[in-house]
Amino acid sequence: MTHDPHSADVETRPPRRLEAVTALRSAVGLGSWLCPSLTWRTFGLGTPGDPRATVITRLFGIRELALAQAVRHPSPEVRRAALQAGVAVDAIDIVASLVAIRRGAPKVILLTFVAGAALFVGLGAAGLAEAQVPVPEKATVC
């Protein structure tokens, strides 16, 4: 029996479709961590006059980075759990954003937080659906 050195890569590498989730979450996370004031303005929240805003933005950023990296994990079970967590977190973000808008937050939040979270919910759901498709086993040659 011969060992195919590439077989482990095929079985453990995340599907290409999940690369979008990783890239987008990483970009948002890095931007939020490294440039919290710019991120705050980009999301339509104005200029953070309170230093606590930068801390909150960085907390959000590290969450995004953690979810992005978990989706890259070689274990399909870990990737699935990360996608499930991401979908749940983003769905809750949508609800929180809608509540904030109802209480007078800027409507631009619909274009930033709600649209962004909805995009991640869709990408995560697509990734979960793909993870449910059984992958044919490789035939071994004796």
pLDDT by 10s per residue, the chain, length 142: 444 444 444 445 666 778 888 999 999 999 999 999 888 888 877 777 778 888 999 999 999 999 999 999 989 999 999 999 999 999 999 999 999 999 998 888 888 889 999 999 999 999 898 876 554 455 455 4
Domains contained in the chain, number:
1
Tell me, what DSSP letter sits at residue 138? P
Of 56, 52, 75, the closest CA to residue 64 belongs to 56
Residue 97: its pLDDT value, please? 92
4 occurs within a structural domain: no
Residue 142: its pLDDT value, please? 46
139 occurs within a structural domain: no
50 occurs within a structural domain: yes
pTM: 0.78
The domain containing residue 42 runs over which residues? Answer: 16-132
Residue 14: its pLDDT value, please? 63
114 occurs within a structural domain: yes
93 occurs within a structural domain: yes
141 occurs within a structural domain: no
Which phi and psi (to 5°) does residue 51 adopt? -60, -20
Residue 32: its pLDDT value, please? 94
Q: Is the sign of the CA dihedral 40, 41, 44, 48 positive or negative? A: positive
Here the tokens at position 131 are: 């993870």
Residue 13: its pLDDT value, please? 60
- Burial class of 127 by CB neighbour count within 10 A (0 to 12, 13 to 18, 19+): buried
27 occurs within a structural domain: yes
